[in-house]
């Protein structure tokens, strides 16, 4: 099981551009975040690279994830795009390299880009590899190509309003860790009365309860904020111990409410 491979709280970097974005990343690092989540399509690989340099942290002290864009999955573009990411990040390897979105077979054969992902790891461009936005069927297919345990995570939308029980249960059976993107439902959880009551009991914010719940479910979380206090509040989630009653109440909030569902999406399981 890959539970210890990925730091359980990471920082989402979508939208953290320029000097303001850099300041947010540096605030997070100052608080203790050691896992930054970027992607070729976010334009924030440059911010992550600058944050690493400015922070003075050693390369091995920061866990960096990036994602190969679905427009770079063809064999002719895949490896050059990974090399370009490393150049922009100004590092020799990423800790985790993901396929951002699967694409239709007629655009790029599945086996081609899954093998290229394995090849990127073999070449030392990534310590670990994984996928994002993959349904169960494709997770199983990737495992038959690369072998059991090679794919360490599937990064998907998960929050109290979209708990994805089918993928969650599959991941548990398969020994695969899920990374919850949009773990605060874009901030919507902050206004939830059920979460608020549990938050009061534990003396933390409503957002921290959402994150604590997801981590208790076994997921990695990558919330995003540019605000120092919220970054601290979210970081505090790791100290919260929810009881069975809390967990049951939060499980009851699931309403299969998906917020990210572009046309290119695969057929979701949940």
Ligand X SMILES: NC(=O)c1ccc[n+]([C@@H]2O[C@H](COP(=O)([O-])OP(=O)(O)OC[C@H]3O[C@@H](n4cnc5c(N)ncnc54)[C@H](OP(=O)(O)O)[C@@H]3O)[C@@H](O)[C@H]2O)c1
207 binds ligand X (CB under 6 A): yes
Spell out, one character per residue from 95 to 114, where the chain touches ligand X: x when CB under 6 A holds, - when not: -----x--------------
Instruction: Tell me which of 187, 245, 248, 255 binds ligand X, using CB under 6 A.
Output: 187
Which of the stretches 25-33, 75-83, 107-115, 226-234 binds ligand X when contact is defined by CB under 6 A? 226-234
163 binds ligand X (CB under 6 A): no
Question: What does the alpha-carbon distance between residue 130 and residue 41 come to, in Å, rounded to a whole number?
Answer: 17
Among 88, 125, 230, 236, contact with ligand X (rule: CB under 6 A): 230
154 binds ligand X (CB under 6 A): no
Residue 96: what are its φ and ψ, rounded to 5°? -140, 125
Under the criterion CB under 6 A, does residue 205 sit at the interface with ligand X? yes
Q: CB neighbours of 111 closer than 8 A, spacing ≥ 6?
A: 145
Q: Supply the minimum distance, in Å, between the C-beta of residue 191 and ligand X.
A: 9
Is 113 designated active site? no
Interacting residue with ligand X among 182, 220, 236, 250 (CB under 6 A): 182
Based on CB atoms, which residue is closest to ligand X, 147 or 187?
A: 187
Q: Is 73 in the site for ligand X (CB under 6 A)?
A: no
Interacting positions 234-263 with ligand X (CB under 6 A): 234, 260
- Tally of CB atoms within 10 A around 212: 26
List 42, 128, 170, 181, catalytic entry: 42
Residue environment code for 92-102, b if the CB has 16+ CB neighbours within 10 A, otherwise e: ebbbbbbbbbb
Cα three-residue angle 183-189-195, rounded to 5 degrees: 110
Residue 172, Cβ neighbours under 10 Å: how many? 14
45 DSSP β-pair partners:
none
Are 184 and 210 in contact by the 8 Å Cβ rule? The answer is yes
As given in the structure block, the two tokens for residue 50 are 């600058």
Start-to-end CA span in the chain (Å): 23
Residue ranges in contact with ligand X by CB under 6 A: 12-14, 37, 100, 132-133, 155, 181-187, 190, 205, 207, 222-227, 230, 233-234, 260
């Amino acid at each position: 099981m890959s539970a210890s491979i990925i730091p359980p709280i990471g920082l989402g970097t979508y939208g953290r551009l320029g000097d303001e974005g850099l300041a947010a990343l540096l605030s997070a690092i100052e608080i203790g975040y050691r896992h930054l989540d970027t992607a070729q399509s976010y334009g924030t690989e440059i911010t992550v690279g600058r944050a690493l340099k400015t922070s003075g942290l050693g390369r091995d002290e920061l866990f960096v994830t990036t994602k190969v864009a679905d427009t770079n999955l063809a064999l002719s573009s895949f490896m050059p795009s990974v090399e370009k990411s490393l150049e922009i990040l100004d590092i020799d390897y990423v800790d985790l390299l993901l396929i951002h979105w699967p694409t239709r077979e007629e655009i790029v054969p599945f086996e081609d880009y899954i093998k290229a992902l394995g090849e990127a790891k073999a070449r030392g461009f990534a310590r670990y590899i994984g996928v994002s936005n993959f349904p169960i069927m494709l997770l199983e297919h990737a495992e038959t190509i690369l072998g059991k345990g090679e794919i360490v995570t599937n990064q998907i939308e998960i929050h109290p309003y979209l708990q994805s029980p089918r993928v969650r249960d599959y991941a548990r059976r398969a020994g695969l860790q899920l990374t919850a993107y949009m773990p605060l439902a874009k901030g919507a959880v902050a206004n939830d009365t059920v979460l608020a009551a549990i938050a009061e009991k534990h003396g933390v914010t409503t957002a921290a309860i959402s994150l604590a719940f997801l981590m208790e479910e076994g997921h990695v979380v990558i919330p995003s904020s540019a605000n120092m206090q919220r970054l601290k509040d979210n970081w505090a989630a790791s100290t919260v111990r929810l009881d069975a009653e809390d967990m049951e109440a939060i499980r009851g909030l699931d309403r299969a409410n998906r917020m990210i569902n572009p046309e290119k999406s695969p057929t979701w399981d949940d």
